[in-house]
Every structure is written in structure tokens, then in C-alpha cells.
Amino acid sequence: MNASTTYTLIELCEAAGVSERTVRYYVTQGLLPSPGAGRGVRWSQEHLERLRLILELKEKHLPLSEIRRRIEAMSGSEVSALLAVQHSESPASSASDYVQKVLAGVRPSSAPVRSKAAQALLPGSAQAPISQAVTRATWERITLDQDVELHVRRPLSRRQDRRVQRLLAQARDIFDLED
């Protein structure tokens, strides 16, 4: 398709297979750049490709906040390249096949991707060994007060851990003051 192709919101939604509400939500969440305002606003091919990449990453069970973090600094050409890589990978025929491939250390095929941001999106990329691509997390339940809990997925980075510790200190102050 031509890079200069533009779409109305309805055409963009039909091409991506999503609702208008979904597109608007992704714009407000910072996943898609806004095309502007007004009745005659047009969406670009880059918008469509970014939307398709978001949908592909959602299918891999990534939360929207993580998707946003990973793709926000990517250029349109990086999005296109990563989307091409995502399409070139053949999906496992079953969950069992997928697990066997991961345990055997088989990496998905990948086309060259220029940026580190784009490479970080690829499972089993040269940036991280396959053992790091599959992470394990545990949830910690912290009781702040009767009927009030904070759930934290561990492990956290040092920065995130410091933030959680500050949050806990403030939460304890709040609940102690109200007693």
C-alpha cells in the first residue's frame, strides 16, 4: 500500500479490525499519535501500522502500559520493520509446541531491525538470551489497612522498588492518621 494513503477514522477501523472507541482510547493513552482535530482529519499509513503492531503485541498478552513504553520512541520505519518481523514469524501450532520450542532455546526468525527499541520488542533477540525473554513474576500482597491491600508484581527494578517503598511509607502515614 502507498505510504501516502490516508484514512478516515471509519476506514482506519475497518482496515485494522477495531472499533472507533478503541482507536480513540489508544490515542488518549498515548499508544497512537493524534492525527489532529476536526471533521476532515485523516489517519496515515503509519497510524495503521502502529495500530496493527499494538494489536499484535496485545495478542502476546503485553499490557498496554508496556506496549506504550516499548513503542513510544519508535519511528514509523521501525514500526514497519517490526511489524514485518512479527508477520514473518510462524506461530506455534499449539501451546505445547510453543513451550517445547522455548525450552529447547529455539529463537524465532528475525529480519534485521535497526533500533535498540525495536530489537527489545523481539522475543529471543540478540539483545537478550532466550532465558531472559521468559520472565517469571510473583505477586506480593501488602496489607495497608483492614480491607485495603496493595498488590505488587515482583521482581521490580531498583527505581520501581524505591517508588513502592515511598508509596508504602505515605500509605502507612495516611492510615495511621485516620485511626
CATH of residue 103's domain is 1.10.1660.10
Give the DSSP letter of residue 123.
Answer: T
Give the DSSP letter of residue 39.
Answer: T
Question: Over the stretch 6-34, which tens digit does the pLDDT of each residue have?
Answer: 999 999 999 999 999 999 999 998 899 88
**Closest alpha carbon to 76 in 44, 102, 99:** 44
Does 66 share its domain with 111? yes
Is it true that the peptide bond before 123 is cis, omega within 30 degrees of 0? no
pTM of the model as a whole? 0.50
Does 70 share its domain with 144? no
Does 17 share its domain with 102? yes
Does 143 share its domain with 128? no
Does 34 share its domain with 119? yes
Quote the domain boundaries for residue 143: 138-177
Does 127 share its domain with 155? no
Does 100 share its domain with 143? no
The H-assigned helical ranges of 34-89 are: 45-59, 64-71, 76-88
Q: Residue 139's beta-bridge partner residues?
A: 153
Question: Over the stretch 128-140, which tens digit does the pLDDT of each residue have?
Answer: 333 334 456 788 8
Q: Is 127 helix (H, G, I), strand (E, B) or coil?
A: coil
Number of folded domains that form the chain: 2
**Closest alpha carbon to 60 in 82, 33, 34:** 82
Does 99 share its domain with 122? yes
Does 110 share its domain with 167? no
Does 22 share its domain with 97? yes
pLDDT surpasses 70 at 155: yes
Does 158 share its domain with 100? no
